[in-house]
Amino acid sequence: MRTHIYYWKCDNPLPVEEKLVYNDKYRLADISDLVRKIAIHHFNAEPTFVEAFGVSGNHYSYRIHYPDQIIFFRSDDGKIDDDYMDAEAAAIKLAREAGVPVPEVIATDTSKKTFPVRYQLLENIAGEPMSDLYQAGTLDRTSTATQLGRFLAQMHQQQLEGFGFFNTETLRNEQKVVGLDSSNEAYFYKRLDDHLRFLQDTAFLQPEEVKTVESLFAKHRHHLQLEKGSLVHKDIAYWNLVGTPEEIHAIIDWDDVISGDPIDDLAIVRCFYQDDVFLPLVEGYSEVRELPDDFEVRLAMYLTRNMLWKAVFRTIMKYFDFQEKVDLLNREGEKTLKEFTYERLYQGIDALKKF
C-alpha cells in the first residue's frame, strides 16, 4: 500500500534510472504484444489493432481496437508492488455517484496472477485530450473551467473516513473506502522533510528558503484540521480531461486520488493555470459548494505543498531539460519550466506571508 507516500510519482521506490525510462517508455519498453494478449483474454477475440496512446507518466496507455468498439487500456510496468488501481476503480464509482462524468471501468486486475502487470480496461471516451485543445488555442477556457469547477464541487460532496491514499486492503476485504492517515495534517506533512532536504541538496532551494517554508507551514497548520476528508482527484489539469472545445466529457486518470481537503484540488489547478482558467473554475465551484472562510490561506498552503513535490519530481525526471514540458504547462509564456516552477512555488509562499 502507499503508506509512506505523499505523491506516488516522486515518492515511489523505483530507482531513478528506471523512472527515467517513463520519459520514452513506448520506444524503450513497449508492451503492445502483452496488451493484445490481455485483450484476447478478456474479449475472446483478436483485436483489429493495438495503438499506443503515447502519454507520459508512470502508466502505459493504449487503445485496443475492435470492429465494434474501442477499449482504453492502462497498466503499470509490473516492477513495483502497487495495487492502487483498485482504489482508482472505487474512486471512479464514487465520482459517478456524485454526477461527475467518468469512464466506465470494464475490468481491473492488480493480482498479476495471469499477466505480469496490473491493468485496467476502461470505456474509451469520445473526444480529444483537452490539453491538446488548450495548446492549440481552440479551447473555451471560461466555459470548460466553469464546468470543471461544478464537477469538482459535486465530487467533493463525497465525504470519506481517514485521509491520504486509500487503504486498499480494507477496500478489498470490507468494500470500504478509508484513508491510510489519521488526519489531514498527517498526510500534508508526510515526506515533507524528505522533499525539502532533496530540494536543498540539489540547490533548488537555499537553506533559508527551507526554513521559511517550515515556519509558514507551522504557523498555519491549524488550517489543516478537518473532521472528514473528501474525494480529491489530486491531479486536475486539462490533460486529465477529455472532451470538445466547449464541453468536458470525462475526468480521467485517478491514480493520485486521495481522501483530503477539497481546496487541495483547486490548488492543483493553480499550479498550472492563470486567472483565465482559475477564476471561472472557482466561480463554477461556488455555484454548487460554498468556499470556506479560510479559503485563501488553505489555497496558499496546498499550492506551496504541491509545488514542493512537483519541484522534486521535475528534478528527478529531468523535466527542466525538456522544452516540450515548458510548452505543456505554459503555452503563452516565455519562462522556462524551472522559472515557472519557482514562480508558482513563490506565489504560494508569498501568499502565506500575508496571513
- Give the DSSP H/E element, type plus range, for residue 179: strand 179-181
- pLDDT attached to residue 331: 53
- Mean pLDDT value across the chain: 95
Same domain, 69 and 138: no
Same domain, 321 and 260: yes
DSSP secondary structure, 108-121, as one string: EE-S-SSSSS-EEE
Same domain, 90 and 164: no
Same domain, 58 and 135: no
Residue whose grid cell is 455517484: 97
Mean pLDDT on 54-66: 88
Q: What is the CATH number of the domain that holds 182?
A: 3.90.1200.10
The answer to the question of residue 111 being in a domain is: yes
324: pLDDT strictly greater than 80: no
Among the candidates 94, 123, 152, a domain finishes at 123
Among the candidates 100, 123, 146, a domain finishes at 123
Report residue 325's pLDDT band, with 50, 70 and 90 as the boundaries: low
Rounded CA separation 82/60 (Å): 15
The answer to the question of residue 4 being in a domain is: no
User: For the chain, how many structural domains are there in total?
Assistant: 2
Q: What are phi and psi of 178, to 5 degrees?
A: -135, 135
- Give the DSSP H/E element, type plus range, for residue 75: strand 69-75
- pLDDT attached to residue 53: 86
Share of the chain above pLDDT 90, in %: 86
193: pLDDT strictly greater than 60: yes
Mean pLDDT on 197-214: 99
98: pLDDT strictly greater than 70: yes
Same domain, 165 and 296: yes
Same domain, 95 and 171: no
Same domain, 83 and 202: no
Mean pLDDT is lowest, of 24-33, 125-134, 147-156, 174-183, for: 24-33
Residue 150 CB contacts under 8 Å (≥ 6 apart), including other chains: 284, 285, 287, 288
Residue whose grid cell is 509545488: 307
Residue 233 CB contacts under 8 Å (≥ 6 apart), including other chains: 91, 152, 155, 240, 251, 254, 256, 257, 265, 268
pTM: 0.96
Same domain, 228 and 298: yes
The answer to the question of residue 346 being in a domain is: yes
C-beta atoms surrounding 227 within 10 Å: 7
- pLDDT attached to residue 333: 61
Q: What is the CATH number of the domain that holds 97?
A: 3.30.200.20
Same domain, 112 and 238: no
Q: Give me the domain span that covers residue 41.
A: 20-123
Q: Count how many Cα atoms sit within 13 Å of the Cα of residue 345 in the half-sphere of its side chain.
A: 21
The b-or-e profile of 282-320 (16+ CB within 10 A means b, else e) is bebbeebbebeeebebbbbbbbbbbbbbbbbbbbebebb
Q: Count how many Cα atoms sit within 13 Å of the Cα of residue 212 in the half-sphere of its side chain.
A: 16
263: pLDDT strictly greater than 80: yes
Same domain, 112 and 237: no
- pLDDT attached to residue 332: 57
Mean pLDDT on 8-16: 91
DSSP secondary structure, 137-169, as one string: T---HHHHHHHHHHHHHHHHT-EEBSEEEE-HH
327: pLDDT strictly greater than 70: no
Among the candidates 89, 123, 157, a domain finishes at 123
Closest CA to 132 of 237, 236, 239: 239
Same domain, 230 and 295: yes
- Specify the higher pLDDT residue, 263 or 332: 263
The answer to the question of residue 153 being in a domain is: yes
* Helix pair angle (262-272, 337-353), 10° resolution: 130
Asked whether 257 and 87 are in contact (CB, 8 A), the reply is yes
Mean pLDDT on 267-277: 96
Closest CA to 207 of 221, 215, 216, 197: 197
Share of the chain above pLDDT 70, in %: 97
- pLDDT attached to residue 328: 55
The answer to the question of residue 1 being in a domain is: no
Mean pLDDT on 135-162: 98
